[in-house]
Structure 1
């Protein structure tokens, strides 16, 4: 197996950290907004159940891909 590595440019880690903070802030805002809508609409008459189902599927796929990457890199 051939492993290709690269050296990131200067400041790359700092830029990546800023992006991570922005993504986390957006995710927190989205979760809080969704929770408020759920409370106001009494669960959205089960519409939120379907939305949560798709969000969980996406999160599960990302987590599984991350684990697979860790296994492959070892």
Structure 2
């Protein structure tokens, strides 16, 4: 689903940015350009970031040996 029409950012691109090492909304915004034009998508973008980070932390805590996500 498109989150940011101005920059053409989808929820998938936001998740991909997080999987690639972004650890915050600010990081995602810098990496994707989401909410950098009109800003109407900021609330939805933040929600996708929160949900994705939460899912990652939940799955990481379920691992016997937590993985470390390091920015390349």
Q: Structure 1 length as normaliser, TM-score?
A: 0.39
- By percentage of residues, which structure has more strand? 2
- By percentage of residues, which structure has more helix? 1
Comparing both chains, which one has the higher relative contact order based on Cα–Cα distances under 8 Å and sequence gaps of 6 or more? 2
Quick check: which has more Rg, 1 or 2? 1
